[in-house]
Amino acid sequence: MSVRVVVDSATDVSPEEAERFGIEIVPLVIRIGNEEFRDLELSQEEFWAKVEAAGGRVGTSTPSAGVFTEVFRSIVESGDEVVCLCLSSKLSGTYETAWAAAEQFGDAVAVIDSELISHAIRHIAVEAAKLASSGAGRDEVIGLIEDLKERTSAFLMLDTLDYIQRGGRIAAVMPLLKRVSKAFSIKPIFEVREGRLELVAYVRSRKKAVRKLIDLLAEKGPFVRIGIYHSRAPEVASWAADLLSQAVGIPREECDIRELGQVLDCHGGPGVIGAVGVRGKRD
């Protein structure tokens, strides 16, 4: 009996990584204007062209329990066990949907709330799949996931409030952000803390905000692995990677730079810069 890792598409595991490491991806639903698509169905170029044509009217919804059930059943009936890793339950209903689907399979399927977003989860999913492919059992794979969750810190900066305001993910702080944004053209910075997006700073100008973002993450170190993720901002991401590598003492070529997937694009909009760090194990 082997262990198979399943993720939802908001974890930003790429199709290439899924094929290489044997990961199953369950796609969320992308809504653009009056159209709906499965995540990963559109290329990035097609996605953004449709978003612009729709005036930025975008959203997402969770996969149905039936989609998770089909994936789980296929794996379990082949004689394997499932470890399913999902986008934070504080930001999406995907975890609850996967959990409900898993109930009918008993101990053969374990569903884990990552309490993280995007590429902070992607790294964990890939490492879990590598361990599973080495012959590790389910409990060992789950243990690795929980360990990496505790050692991972993630921050992100928004260039616009328009998209996240529509999604309602930070409703509690929106009145404040809207006031200061209008007055000072600020860029908010959030930490992913216990599965939620917690506002930790707001800074005037994108350049100063990126520097602050890097400083905030560096304070959480020391790190053994770092990464930058972005939405339609490759040049800014490259500069942020330079700053991060200098701040934490990890070679620039070891800083992973990735583009956000379309689920997070729908909620963050263009110009997002995120930073992730994984601390080493304690002695």
Q: Report the CATH number at residue 189.
A: 3.30.1180.10
Q: What is the mean pLDDT of residues 164-187?
A: 59
- Note whether 235 and 129 are same-domain residues: no
Whether residue 51 is predicted with pLDDT greater than 60 in this model: the reply is yes
- Note whether 171 and 241 are same-domain residues: yes
- Note whether 230 and 270 are same-domain residues: yes
- pTM for the structure as a whole: 0.92
pLDDT at 161: 80
Beta strand 223-230 with 196-204: parallel, antiparallel or unpaired?
unpaired
HSE, side-chain direction, 13 A CA sphere, residue 2:
14
Q: What is the domain extent for residue 197?
A: 152-279
The per-residue pLDDT for range 231-276, each reduced to its tens digit, is 999 999 999 999 999 999 999 999 999 999 999 999 999 999 999 9
- Tokens 């790294």 locate to 123
Q: What is the mean pLDDT of residues 208-223?
A: 97
Domain count of the chain? 2
Whether residue 207 is predicted with pLDDT greater than 90 in this model: the reply is yes
Decide which of 182 and 258 is more confident.
258
